Amino acid sequence: MNFRFSFRFAAVALLSVAALHAQAPATAVDPVVMLRAAIDEVMAVAYDTKATMPLVERARPVLAKYFNFESITRRAVGPGWRQFTPEQRQRATTLFTDLALRTYANRFEAGDRPGITYAKPVMLDPARPALRELPTTIDYAGKKYTVSYRVEQTAGGWQIYDVNIEGVSMIANWRAQLDPIFQSGGANAVIGSLEKNLSQEPVK
């Protein structure tokens, strides 16, 4: 079974993070324009061979520009978010941003540059016109992967809040882990689990 589970998830996760962490400049009217800019900027940072700073620090400002980490954290926590105090929300967002950045930046290996094809945006739900799904195909190391980005229109323009690689949503994956922790220990347990994870050495 495991053998059918085979796609180069790790590599693509990286590339897509390239895309996951992005928030739109106010000028971008078309979400695809924002996504292209986000991916181009992240790739420029990731493939910068002269840089001396660690990738996680170089990528941070770029990703902070295109990704709405507050919204990502809220969705990753799920319904339990309503019971977080403003301070707890702030703390969880800071921790989760660090965790997301670290998770993906540490796995990046500069290899071949991927080719990306952008398809037409899809309206997710007519009742919620501010949300769109942006499907793309990533061509990496001879294989093709389906990666789609979920974006949301905010006062600051289009912002990315989820990346879905071959059907696996990052938000859903995080929520599957965080929700049981909230159910058993509340907001403090969620914050504690994020702190604990960040204090451990990253897995190579």
The footprint of other proteins (CB under 8 A) covers: 1-11, 13, 74-75, 78-79, 81-82, 99, 102-103, 106-107, 124-125, 128, 131, 137, 142, 144, 166-169, 172-173, 175-178, 180-181, 193-194, 197, 202-203
- Minimum CB distance to other proteins, residue 21 (Å): 15
Cβ closest to other proteins, residue 64 vs residue 131: 131
- Kindly state the tokens that stand for 38: 């986000």
- Minimum CB distance to other proteins, residue 57 (Å): 17
Cβ closest to other proteins, residue 37 vs residue 181: 181
Q: What is the DSSP letter of 200?
A: S
Q: What is the DSSP letter of 202?
A: P
Cβ closest to other proteins, residue 65 vs residue 159: 159
Phi and psi torsions of 10, nearest 5°? -60, -50
- Minimum CB distance to other proteins, residue 48 (Å): 23
- Kindly state the tokens that stand for 27: 């000028």
Give the Cβ contact number of residue 123 at 10 Å. 10
Q: Taking a C-beta distance cutoff of 8 angstroms, is the pair 38, 20 a contact?
A: no
- Minimum CB distance to other proteins, residue 119 (Å): 12
Give the Cβ contact number of residue 34 at 10 Å. 26
Cβ closest to other proteins, residue 38 vs residue 178: 178
Cβ closest to other proteins, residue 36 vs residue 137: 137
Q: Taking a C-beta distance cutoff of 8 angstroms, is the pair 46, 110 a contact?
A: yes
Q: Which amino acid is at 193?
A: S
Q: Terminal CA-to-CA distance of the chain, rounded, Å?
A: 25
- Minimum CB distance to other proteins, residue 89 (Å): 14
